[in-house]
Amino acid sequence: MLFTALKKYADFTTTASRQEYWGLFLFIFLGTVITTVLDLMFFNTDPGPIYILFLLGVFIPSFATLARRNRDAGWSQWSIILAFIPLVNLVYYIVIGCMPTQEKQNEQ
């Protein structure tokens, strides 16, 4: 599940299952916690260079997985814009992660 998301790091056209989406979400959450602790230990700063490098590394795979998850849930890929609106993005991430796979794929 996680390796699928990282293998398709720049694929915005296929679909992503709920398992793949939440697996990447868990990986990013745990990676954020670990890199923050390492930055505080070694650099006494938050955010530090380890955290920033981690975020740069998962930026494209996370948005590619989100775009594929939109397609799998039957939403337009343009709804990814909701990820940039504060507070709305929290609800959006949860809703899109809980939506079941649609039989007819959205072609937009």
Contact 108, 77 (CB under 8 A): yes
Distance CA 87, CA 7 (A): 30
Q: What is the pLDDT of residue 9?
A: 84
Q: What is the pLDDT of residue 104?
A: 66
Report mean pLDDT in 10-residue bins for the chain, 108 residues. 79 91 94 96 92 95 93 91 94 94 66
Give the largest CA-CA distance in the chain.
Answer: 51
pLDDT, one tens digit per residue, over 71-81 is 999 998 889 99
Domain boundaries defined on the chain: 2-98
Place of tokens 């930026």: 59
CB atoms within 10 A of CB 24: 23
| Token pair for 34 | 């670990």
User: What global pTM score does this model have?
Assistant: 0.85
Q: What is the pLDDT of residue 35?
A: 97
Q: What is the pLDDT of residue 58?
A: 93
